[in-house]
Amino acid sequence: MQNKDYISKSFVHAAGVLIYVSAVALFLSNGENIFGKQVDNFLAPLLMLLLLIVSASITGLLVLGKPILLYFNNHKKEAFKMLFATLAWIATFAIIVILVLISRAS
């Protein structure tokens, strides 16, 4: 795989994480509209823990899936390139979100 392939594939994986996290954030920010103000004492924490497990699994697959596959197929150098490229894209997205938040606060 060439460097351009790593950059484009890692961008797609990182964009998948961004889209998924955005969907979860939208769901959480509209929780009161969806469920109302009355929250069951047992079901709310249960839902949050289940959402945490699902989120960790989905984002883990998006970030680590391909690098682990490459690593086990004895492409160790490529696996680390893919992993760090994906993490770099996620960090870039996080910086963009921070800059947007700062610009809105001013």
Q: What is the pTM of this model?
A: 0.88
Distance CA 74, CA 103 (A): 45
According to the model, what pLDDT value does residue 54 have? 97
Total number of domains constituting the chain: 1
User: Would you give the distance in Å from CA 8 to the centre of its chain?
Assistant: 16
What residues make up the domain containing 15?
3-105
Can you state the percent helix, strand and coil of the chain, rounding each to 5?
Answer: 85, 0, 15
The one-digit pLDDT tens for each residue of the chain (106 residues) are 677 888 999 999 999 999 999 999 999 999 888 887 776 778 888 999 999 999 999 999 999 999 999 999 999 999 999 999 999 999 999 999 999 999 999 7
According to the model, what pLDDT value does residue 59 have? 97
